[in-house]
Chains A and B, each alone.
Chain A
Amino acid sequence: MVEYDASKAAELHPIIHSHVPSKPALRIKALETLLVEKGMLDSAAVDAWVEVYSEEIGPKTGAGVVAHAWCDNDFRKRLLADGASGVAELGITGWALGNLKVVENTDDVHNVVVCTLCSCYPHGLLGIQPSWYKLEAYRSRVVRDPRGVLAEFEVMMPDNVRIDVWDSTAELRYLVLPQRPAGSEHLNEEELAALVTRNSMIGTQRVLPVANGGQ
């Protein structure tokens, strides 16, 4: 078995680029067909992963954690102290959750998450990243001009609220715990979870409207 030397990738990229089909759908199809023929891949497992990340694992998982933290203050404290153990209490484990850190919005601090070097994300809680999270405009700018970036998400930050940006440079993954919205006192945990949006758990939304319901 040849050990893979990743430093050779710069040489491999252009060679592969000039030989494989020019359309992504065709080259990915060719890859799947080849790997199945080699006995290295079972297409039914690919189907299963597509279904899991299309139907099952997504922001609803994270929203349930947030709502539970709003309703149970002792849980909230444990979650903030150790995110991975906190979500595991709720039976949630999975991709990129082994070193989870939950950061809490307050009246004085707003948190927003990025990965400037690639697009690291708490997949097991939020599913697949939104496309803007993976692109260079967000990754380059949010560490330099977080207020300008948030304004593009229609979040106008007052000067007296500090912004804490979290750049996921190691294997810690970040979830923002948004503030429970005013006027939500009458809602139960399930109804609260319905208010919590994906962007509020990344930090590109701050206020969660009660009247409109969640996404």
Chain B
Amino acid sequence: MDGIHDVGGKLGFGAINPTDEDPPFPEPCDGRMLGIARAVARPADWNSDKFRHTREQEDPVQYLTRTYFDQWYKAYACMLVGSELVTVEELATGKSSGAKPDGLSKPMKAGDVEQVKQMGASFERPYDGLIKFQIEGHVRAKLITPTGHCRLPAYVRGHVGEVTACHGAHVLADASAHNRHVVEPLYTVRFWLSDLFPERDGCADLVHLDLWESHLETA
């Protein structure tokens, strides 16, 4: 979707101001929110793409001003309410007014963390379709303006790049955010900054993006 989250190449955000001291959880509630997200019992249909699509629909003012883990809070609150697992009233009071929901995964135990922390899923899937684009081939990022989740950033849409790798077929985030399971070839495509931004004329620097086949057309 053409939302506030798609900030690549946007101007006006100012200085970065990196600091030496940068703890993982600036406030204790940040750590609690990460832990809640990782340990909560959940329905089988939740996935990281739904989480991202939920987060990116935050009101732009809120998106730009809430702390990172507070944005996680908002996304989880939306997912819990939208799945009818909790009500807004319950979120407001912190008190349960209904029965324990059925059909969820078991809540994680402290003893499970040792094993779960070592789990990192691959998103590559078997695929017997054709691989449409060749390495070193030129492709154009489609000039699209989708309303739903889309991992093709606006700053490359309409521009031509070069395929540098194919990673087999991966779960298409744009579909799984919307309850559809689609598997498509995933490519790394490099774009010249000089093609994307007028002030980079003559610059040899590159930006590489991982894009699914449906994001691309032959150039």
Q: Number of B residues whose C-beta is below 8 Å from A?
A: 122
Across-interface contacts of B137 in A (CB, < 8 A): none
A40–B25 touching, CB < 8 Å:
no
Residues of A within 8 A of B (CB): 1-10, 12-17, 19-21, 24-25, 27-35, 37-42, 44-50, 52-54, 57-58, 84, 93-99, 114, 116-119, 124, 127-132, 134-141, 143-147, 149, 152-153, 162-172, 199, 204
Across-interface contacts of B95 in A (CB, < 8 A): 33-34, 37
**Contact residue among A7, A27, A162 (Cβ-Cβ distance under 8 Å from B148):** A7
Smallest CB gap from B215: residue in A: A169
> Among the interface residues B64, B73, B84, B170, which one has the most CB atoms of the partner chain A within 10 A?
B73
Interface string of B185-219 (1 = CB under 8 A from A): 01010100100110010001111111110000000
B28–A169 touching, CB < 8 Å:
no
Q: How many whole Å from B207's CB to the nearest CB in chain A? A: 4
A4-B83, A6-B149, A94-B117 are contacts. A143–B8 as well, Cβ < 8 Å?
yes
A50-B35, A169-B211 are contacts. A118–B56 as well, Cβ < 8 Å?
yes
Across-interface contacts of B186 in A (CB, < 8 A): 170, 172
> Among the interface residues B54, B76, B94, B119, which one has the most CB atoms of the partner chain A within 10 A?
B94
B107–A49 touching, CB < 8 Å:
no
Q: How many whole Å from B168's CB to the nearest CB in chain A? A: 10
| Cα–Cα, bound, A165→B207 (Å) | 5
| Cα–Cα, bound, A114→B112 (Å) | 31
A131–B94 touching, CB < 8 Å:
no
16 further interface pairs, Cβ-Cβ under 8 Å (given A19-B92, A34-B86) = A9-B54, A16-B91, A28-B33, A30-B92, A31-B33, A35-B36, A37-B96, A38-B100, A41-B36, A117-B6, A117-B56, A136-B7, A139-B7, A144-B9, A168-B210, A170-B211
B73–A27 touching, CB < 8 Å:
yes
| Cα–Cα, bound, A164→B67 (Å) | 29
**Contact residue among A1, A25, A29 (Cβ-Cβ distance under 8 Å from B94):** A29
| Cα–Cα, bound, A117→B173 (Å) | 13
> Among the interface residues A42, A45, A114, A137, which one has the most CB atoms of the partner chain B within 10 A?
A45
Across-interface contacts of A139 in B (CB, < 8 A): 7-8
Say whether B126 faces chain A, with CB atoms less than 8 Å apart.
no
Residues of B within 8 A of A (CB): 5-11, 13-19, 22, 24-29, 31-36, 38-41, 43, 45-46, 49-50, 52-59, 62, 64, 66-70, 73-79, 81-86, 88-96, 100-104, 107-110, 112-113, 117-124, 147-149, 151-153, 155, 167, 170-171, 173, 177-179, 186, 188, 190, 193, 196-197, 200, 204-212
A1-B43, A9-B78, A93-B119 are contacts. A132–B18 as well, Cβ < 8 Å?
yes
Pairs A–B under 8 Å by Cβ, sample size 25: A2-B82, A5-B179, A6-B149, A12-B81, A13-B59, A17-B62, A19-B89, A20-B91, A27-B77, A28-B32, A28-B70, A33-B94, A34-B95, A40-B100, A41-B36, A41-B41, A50-B31, A53-B34, A116-B9, A118-B55, A118-B56, A140-B10, A140-B13, A146-B205, A164-B207
